């Protein structure tokens, strides 16, 4: 998947055309960072793909007011959560005539099966964005039996209809900003990195859907019950036990949901409801408690950090200090 960008002088630039359907679907994290220099401005873009999720975020600086033409390349069918972190712009899809407005600190969810259009941006402006895309197949699985807004949106997507979750963009909450920051600054590796990113992307989806539900039901202060007592609750408890039994090589959210017989959206929401934590957060707490026991048993800190999947001792030290209030070295000495 990529984008051909054509400026007002007819010059074309290829941006990000490196991720195929196979890469987006494979159960490992593929990451790429690119820096671009155009006559009209500069840009930096980061792309990550894994298990039906494609993340892209970027920072673009424009030196002049201009209109750019866009052509989406590749044939991956995706549902997009778009977060405008800074800057303003408008894009028009020439296939449908629909206009999309992007304003600082706003978000929405879009399904645009065919996109080729124009974008207009102000001059001397910095534009920062972050997008989480789910393959349509994966999104329809997540939306099944989730909440009314996502199920209605999924029905339209299944028919191939271009649509938005909300008619008007919604404000990015502090919790969303924190989640976006966590995605952009993940320091883990391997299977833990994939589980962490999956968890955060579904957390963003849940927050976006809940914000829209709240906007629709401003007169009804009763939250929608996504996770129901009985089968749902039993499945989540089973998922917790399975996760802890396989903590050394944790399953992905997709794998964990299949084992437990529940969909990923409910799994994510259920962990938050029952254990006041995300799937990844619960696993991290469990493993850091393990780390504390290993430290007092005089296991080298570097070996513990490697065992937990941290990319460096420094990142392990930071996580340990955040949970216990002291660095692991001091606990070891104690």
pTM beyond 0.75:
no
- Give whole-number Cα distances, 64 to 42, 85, 125, 128, in Å: 12, 20, 8, 16
pLDDT of residue 18: 66
CB neighbour class for 105 (10 Å; exposed up to 12, middle 13-18, buried from 19) = middle
In CATH, the number for domain 225-334 is 1.10.10.60
For 98, 124, 195, 201, the CA distances from 92, given in Å and listed in that order, are 6, 22, 35, 27
Residue-wise burial string across 106-135, b where 16 or more C-beta atoms lie within 10 A, e elsewhere? bbbbbbbeebebebebeeebebbbbbbbbb
- Residue 97 pLDDT: 85
pLDDT in tens, 134-193: 999 999 999 998 888 899 999 999 999 899 999 889 999 988 998 999 999 998 888 889
Locate CATH 2.60.120.10 in the chain.
2-178
Taking 50 as the pLDDT cut, the residues of the chain under it are 219-225
Phi-psi region of 228 (alpha: psi -120 to 50; beta: other; left: phi over 0): beta
**How many whole angstroms separate alpha carbon 11 and alpha carbon 166?**
35
CATH fold, domain 2-178, is: Jelly Rolls (2.60.120)
Place of tokens 């028009």: 92
CATH code 1.10.10.60 region(s) in the chain = 225-334
- Please report, in angstroms and rounded to a whole number, the separation of the first and last CA atoms in the chain: 53
134, 78 contact by CB (below 8 A)? yes
Q: What is the pLDDT of residues 223-262, one digit of tens each?
A: 444 666 677 888 888 898 889 888 878 888 888 988 888 8
> Given this model, what pLDDT does residue 229 score?
67
Question: Is-contact 209 150, C-beta < 8 A?
Answer: yes
Q: Please choose, from the candidates 266, 283, 202, the residue with its C-alpha nearest in 3D space to the C-alpha of residue 232.
A: 266
Helices (H), 96-247: 136-143, 148-158, 174-184, 190-216, 231-245
Which residues lie below 8 Å from residue 156, measured CB to CB, with a gap of 6+? 111, 163
């Amino acid at each position: 998947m990529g984008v051909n960008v054509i400026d007002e002088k007819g010059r074309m630039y290829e941006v990000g055309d490196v991720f195929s359907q196979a890469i987006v679907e494979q159960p490992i994290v593929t990451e790429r960072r690119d820096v671009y220099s155009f006559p009209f401005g500069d840009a930096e873009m980061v792309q990550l793909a894994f298990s039906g999720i494609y993340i892209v975020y970027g920072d673009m600086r424009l030196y002049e007011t201009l209109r750019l033409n866009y052509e989406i390349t590749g044939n991956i069918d995706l549902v997009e959560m778009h977060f405008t972190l800074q800057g303003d712009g408008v894009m028009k899809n020439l296939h449908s005539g629909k206009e999309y407005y992007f304003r600082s600190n706003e978000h929405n969810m879009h399904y645009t099966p065919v996109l080729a259009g124009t974008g207009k941006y102000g001059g001397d402006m910095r534009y920062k964005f972050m997008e989480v895309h789910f393959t349509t197949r994966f999104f329809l699985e997540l939306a099944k039996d989730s909440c009314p807004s996502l199920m209605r949106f999924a029905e339209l997507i299944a028919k191939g209809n271009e649509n938005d979750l909300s008619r008007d963009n919604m404000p990015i909450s502090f919790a969303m900003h924190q989640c976006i920051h966590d995605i952009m600054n993940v320091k883990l590796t391997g299977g833990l990195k994939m589980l962490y990113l999956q968890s955060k992307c579904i957390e963003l989806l849940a927050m976006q859907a809940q914000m829209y539900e709240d906007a629709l039901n401003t007169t009804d202060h009763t939250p929608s019950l996504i996770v129901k007592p009985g089968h749902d609750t039993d499945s989540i408890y089973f998922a917790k036990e399975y996760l802890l039994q396989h903590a050394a090589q944790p399953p992905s959210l997709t794998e964990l949901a299949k084992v437990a017989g529940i969909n990923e959206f409910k799994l994510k929401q259920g962990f938050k409801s029952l254990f006041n934590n995300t799937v990844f957060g619960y696993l991290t707490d469990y493993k850091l408690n393990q780390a504390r026991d290993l430290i007092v048993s005089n296991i080298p800190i570097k070996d513990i950090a490697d065992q937990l999947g941290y990319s460096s001792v420094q990142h392990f030290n930071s996580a340990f200090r955040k949970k216990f209030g002291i660095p692991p070295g001091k606990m070891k000495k104690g």
